Amino acid sequence: MNYELYKQWTDMVVEYVKTKGEQAFWNEYMEIEKAIYKEILAKHKDNFKFTISDLAAKHNTTEEFVMGFVDGINDSLKETLDLEVLSANDEISLQVDLEKLYINMLDAKAEYLYTLPQWEGIFSPEKRKELQKTYRESVIVRNENKVGRNDPCPCGSGKKYKKCCGK
């Protein structure tokens, strides 16, 4: 058994980017990722079971690229996987939290994934808009402790902020 598949994946990415360039890596990876997501989303009511080796063969790619896919979806699973102990022949059963997956795709700015037509069979347009709104609100940074220009200066001088540190 090969328990170093995760390390092979990370090493492969570094080597691929060095030799072929970052854009070439993303072009190849995104096509593989898109094909696997289409399959998972189409069967979203079932647990998606596979071995990394079988999924790589089915999508005509390497085990490392499929390991990269597993790495990418791991944060969207109901129970995350311990990636560092997975081997190519371990059976994996993905229990995907679909709302979390959709939001994670928005966060990754992966338009090629969150606009897949398979989402239409999972969430209504209204639900997708609601998830997009939830995501946007989660990334807004609000400064709750904003000092107004006429407030006392937080440095403790006793002066108004505009006449002290706010100059």
Q: What is the pLDDT of residues 95-152, one digit of tens each?
A: 999 999 999 999 999 999 999 999 999 999 999 999 999 999 888 877 777 888 898 9
* pLDDT tier at 154, thresholds 50, 70, 90: confident
Please tell me the distance from the alpha carbon of residue 93 to that of residue 114, in angstroms, as a whole number.
Answer: 22
Nearest to 65, CA basis, from 133, 13, 21, 114:
13
Q: Looking up tokens 């904003």, which residue turns up?
A: 146
Nearest to 87, CA basis, from 57, 63, 58, 62:
63
Average per-residue pLDDT in the chain?
Answer: 93
Query: Is the per-residue pLDDT at 34 higher than 70?
Result: yes
Query: Is the per-residue pLDDT at 3 higher than 60?
Result: no
pLDDT of residue 147: 85
